[in-house]
């Protein structure tokens, strides 16, 4: 009985190999993660067939492992897009970003950053009490602090942020924020909305102060 792999012919098998290689090269040229994952999945499928028909069992094993891994990463990225879209249409909460952030405990009297410091991270207050000194504003749980520094021309802090009562923060570096942006440009639009909201709040607060002085 003839091997079915011989029936197909080696030229078709080689063509599959070249097509798979072309898709891998295309995946490496992608600038965003979702197209990269989709092309990667196509390449995985083709190399699985190629690995069986050639036969080239190392290729078959490698792409048999990469196929579910790429599928999982694509699913996670699509989930992230959905959460970003939902948050952007709502109250701009940060719940979807929490898995990418690190926990940090704070003690009363600790200065998280001072006015004029170089900005390198943003924070989300989980518990405790905090204060932005220059504008005399108290900050409770559930607030985002330090996001404006990412787009400031000189990346300098404009306020001093102090812990008044022991608590816990979540923090994410600007480098991580930039990686999220390049992986998913939709995140950039959400982040601009977040910063715009903060700027409008600051303008409204200054207007209220101006009216109270009249």
Q: Could you confirm whether domain 95-212 is CATH 3.90.226.10?
A: no
pLDDT on residue 171: 92
DSSP letters along 186-198, please? Answer: HHHHHHHHHHHHH
- The gap from C-alpha 202 to its chain's centroid, in whole angstroms, comes to 26
Q: What share of the chain is helix, strand, coil (3-state, %, to 5)?
A: 60, 20, 25
pLDDT on residue 84: 62
Q: What number of residues does the chain have? A: 214
Cβ-based neighbour number of residue 18 at 10 Å: 12
pLDDT on residue 163: 95
pLDDT on residue 93: 57
pLDDT on residue 158: 83
Share of the chain above pLDDT 90, in %: 28
Residue whose C-alpha is closest to residue 77's, from 106, 34, 43, 113? 34
Mean pLDDT of the chain: 81
For residues 167 and 103, give the distance between their C-alpha atoms in angstroms, rounded to a whole number. Answer: 11
CB 184 within 8 A of CB 81: yes
Tokens of 112: 């998280």
For residue 85, name the pLDDT band (cuts at 50, 70, 90): low
pLDDT on residue 108: 93
Q: Which long-range contacts (CB under 8 A, 24 or more apart) does 185-190 make?
A: 185/32, 186/81, 186/84, 186/85, 187/80, 187/84, 189/88, 190/84, 190/87, 190/88, 190/92
**Least confident interval from 66-80, 128-142, 185-199:** 185-199
Give me the residue label for tokens 């094993």. Answer: 61
For residue 127, name the pLDDT band (cuts at 50, 70, 90): very high
Residue whose C-alpha is closest to residue 84's, from 98, 97, 71, 73? 97
For residue 9, name the pLDDT band (cuts at 50, 70, 90): very low
pLDDT on residue 8: 46
Residue 140 phi/psi, 5-degree rounding, is: -105, -170
Average pLDDT, stretch 131-160?
A: 84
Q: Which residues pair with 85 in a beta bridge?
A: none
For residues 170 and 105, give the distance between their C-alpha atoms in angstroms, rounded to a whole number. Answer: 9
For residue 199, name the pLDDT band (cuts at 50, 70, 90): confident
**pTM, entire model:** 0.54
| Upstream peptide bond of 55 is cis (omega within 30 degrees of 0) | yes
CB 10 within 8 A of CB 55: no
**Least confident interval from 9-23, 112-126, 132-146, 196-210:** 196-210
Q: Residues spanned by CATH 2.60.120.10 within the chain?
A: 95-212
CB hemisphere CA count around 157 (13 angstroms) = 22
Better-predicted residue by pLDDT, 107 or 137 = 107
> What does the pLDDT look like over 26-57, one tens digit per residue?
888 887 778 888 999 999 999 999 989 888 88
């Amino acid at each position: 009985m003839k091997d079915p792999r011989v029936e197909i012919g080696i030229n078709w098998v080689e063509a599959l190999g070249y097509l798979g290689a072309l898709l891998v090269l295309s995946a490496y040229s992608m600038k965003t993660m979702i197209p990269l994952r989709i092309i990667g999945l196509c390449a995985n499928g083709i190399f699985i067939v190629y690995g069986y028909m050639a036969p080239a069992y190392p290729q078959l094993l490698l792409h048999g492992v990469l196929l579910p891994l790429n599928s999982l990463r694509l699913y996670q990225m699509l989930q992230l897009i959905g959460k970003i879209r939902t948050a952007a249409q709502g109250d701009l909460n940060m719940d979807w970003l929490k898995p990418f952030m690190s926990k940090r405990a704070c003690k009363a009297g600790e200065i998280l950053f001072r006015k004029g410091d170089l900005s390198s991270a943003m924070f989300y207050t989980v518990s405790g009490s905090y204060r932005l000194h220059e504008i005399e504003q108290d900050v409770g749980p559930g607030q985002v602090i330090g996001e404006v520094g990412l787009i400031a021309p000189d990346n300098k802090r404009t306020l001093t942020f102090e812990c008044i009562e022991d608590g816990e923060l979540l923090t994410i570096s600007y480098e991580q924020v930039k990686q999220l942006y390049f992986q998913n440009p939709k995140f950039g639009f959400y982040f601009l909305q977040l910063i715009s909201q903060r700027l409008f709040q600051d303008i409204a607060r200054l207007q209220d102060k101006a009216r109270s002085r009249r």
